Amino acid sequence: MLGLMQNWPLTVDKILDHAKAWHGETEIVTRSVEGPIVRTTYAQVHERAKRMSNALKGLGVKPGDRVATLAWNTARHIEAWYAIMGIGAVCHTLNPRLFPDQLCYIVNHAEDQIIFTDLTFLPVLAEHRAKLTSVKHIVVLTDEAHMDAAAAIPGALCFETLVVQNSADCEWGGFDENTAAGLCYTSGTTGNPKGVLYSHRSNFLHTLVTLNADVMALRAQDVVLPVVPMFHANAWGIAFSAPAVGAKLVMPGPKLDGASVHELLESEGVTFSAAVPTVWQMLLTHLRDTGGKLSTLKRVVIGGSAVPESIVRAFKGDYGVEVTHAWGMTETSPLGTQATPNAAIAAMPAEEQIRYRLKQGRAPLGIEMKLTDDAGARLPHDGTTFGRLKVKGPFVVREYFKGEGGEILDSEGFFDTGDVATIDEHGFMQITDRAKDVIKSGGEWISSIEIENLAVGHPKAAIAAVIGAAHPKWDERPVLLVKLKDGETATKQEFLDFLEGKIAKWWTPDDVVFVDDIPLGATGKIDKKLIRERMKDYVLPTAEKAKERA
């Protein structure tokens, strides 16, 4: 027997329909690529997105066609998103931090028909236009007054002109909720990037989960600043979840430095924001240097990489801002876990709660997790046993776009995240490393992430990274790389003394190397692949001694 409820397909166009109907006058504020602060509303964005849908149809876009965006967080970018998805086409977000060859590969693999782009990225598109074999049109997210910048791309179209030329009379939806809605590619740290193809249903369910009080807890009263880019795993879903509740959106455009982010936080009365740790490091540095305050900000979500304890303590202790650590990946839409305290943890003293807030947290409804060994056998959730983290759920990838990578689920339907983690008795998961980054020393595993998060708390450290270096006796030993803050000098012993007592003695790095730069990848994470390449000729001082003794 089936239920007797209405069949209301879960398609994301309904999210913006809802925002227009019930929160139509709520603002979307953008620091535009052209410079000025621009204000619009959900009602205006809804109308303009429908006009752009008709423009896309006029350019030959059909359901299932891929339409790419290479753009910053702006209201125009949101309009492009809903214009694409509303007519059953697939919105493919491109990460401008990738190398041009990677971008070209991704565009051609996805067979993108059109690219929406900001002025910032016109030079790279002009240089590589001939390689983008599937692309028929490039639409510049600007007005006619700024189209001179697109002169190097023959036939480039102006976004604002297309909006004006087309009617807002356009029917959205009307297709199956399992229709593809969005496409994001993995960062491609090994091999070619792989596409993750989201459905309308998966995005809609992910939106409902993020609104949970134990997750992002967004409300109509909130003012939301998504610093996390729309090209990074769908801005963690905020471009769906904010309009779903009618929250005011503040879009930062291309300026993500500490001063620019602080200006928007204060001038627009932001209450909630989300970003990777490097952004918050820049903001906190700016606040310390200028004596700045955070007068309205109440909550931040930090993900993308492990959050250092120093950030959590600074936000809460100096500014009264609650920090929630989150984990996810492109393959999980991206939300996987969030470190919101449960009743038992909330009852603990504040100092004891810190160690749980530094974990990646517990699974919300819709996510299942398990740990396994390399053979696939389940491991206990005792908080100490390391294992491969595997997940499943209605917004977790089933297979990659075009079948790349073959079968990616185990016999129980779980996806291997590539992370090594522990899960404790409270259900709190903690990433200890990527499987390819964990340091294997004497048959035991050492977490590079844990050492990094402690080392970056040293008052002289700007950023820190840990990799494994070959050792004749122990297989691998940890090496700590440190980029110091401007004007600082330090010794190896200073950092070893700082770590003493905070980690197991046998985890202590065998060397500390001071470097001018620690590279970050396309999603803001430390690029250990590049670090290992740079350090390929490095020899541990302890390895030399071990050889001498042998």
Active site residue 186: yes
C-alpha–C-alpha distance, residues 371 and 488, integer Å: 42
Locate tokens 């003695």: which residue? 505
Q: Which of 402, 440, 485, 545 is catalytic?
A: 440
Is 414:390 a contact under the CB 8 Å cutoff?
yes
Nearest to 359 by CA among 310, 424, 416, 418: 424
Q: Which residue pairs from 190-194 have beta carbons closer than 8 angstroms and sit at least 24 positions apart in sequence?
A: 190/436, 190/529, 192/105, 192/109, 192/404, 193/98, 193/102, 193/105, 193/106, 194/400, 194/401, 194/404, 194/405
Give the whole-angstrom CA distance, residue 488 versus residue 481. 15
Q: Of 79, 177, 268, 331, which residue is the catalytic one? A: 331
State yes or no: is 399 an active-site residue.
no
**Residues 216, 210: contact at Cβ < 8 Å?**
yes
Is there a catalytic annotation at residue 330? no
Contact yes or no for 302/325 (Cβ under 8 A): yes
> What is the 3 state secondary structure string of 158-194?
EHHHHHHHCCCCCCCCCCCCCCEEEEEECCCCCCCCC
138 token code pair: 């490039």
440 is catalytic: yes
The answer to whether the beta carbons of residues 304 and 328 sit under 8 Å apart is no
- The sign of the dihedral angle between the CA atoms of 188, 190, 192, 198 is negative
**Residue ranges of the alpha helices (H) in 211-323?**
238-245, 258-267, 277-290, 309-319
- Among candidate residues 22, 425, 445, 533, the one labeled active-site is 445
Q: Which residues are registered as beta bridge partners of 197?
A: 183
How many C-beta atoms surround the C-beta of residue 136 within 10 A?
13
CA distances from 28 to 19, 32, 33, 118, 202 (A): 11, 12, 15, 18, 25
Question: What is the C-alpha to C-alpha distance for residues 298 and 368, in angstroms, rounded to an integer?
Answer: 30
Judging by DSSP bridges, how do beta strands 223-226 and 272-275 pair with one another? parallel
Q: What is the dihedral of CA 179, 185, 191, 192, to 10 degrees?
A: 80
Looking from the CA of 151 toward its CB, the CA atoms found within 13 Å total: 4
Helices 13-23 and 75-86 cross at an angle (nearest 10°) of 120
On whether the CB atoms of residues 103 and 94 are closer than 8 A, the answer is yes
CB 438 within 8 A of CB 420: yes
C-alpha–C-alpha distance, residues 295 and 298, integer Å: 9
Please identify which of the residues 69, 117, 142, 186 carries the catalytic annotation.
186
Q: Name the residues annotated as catalytic.
A: 186, 331, 440, 445
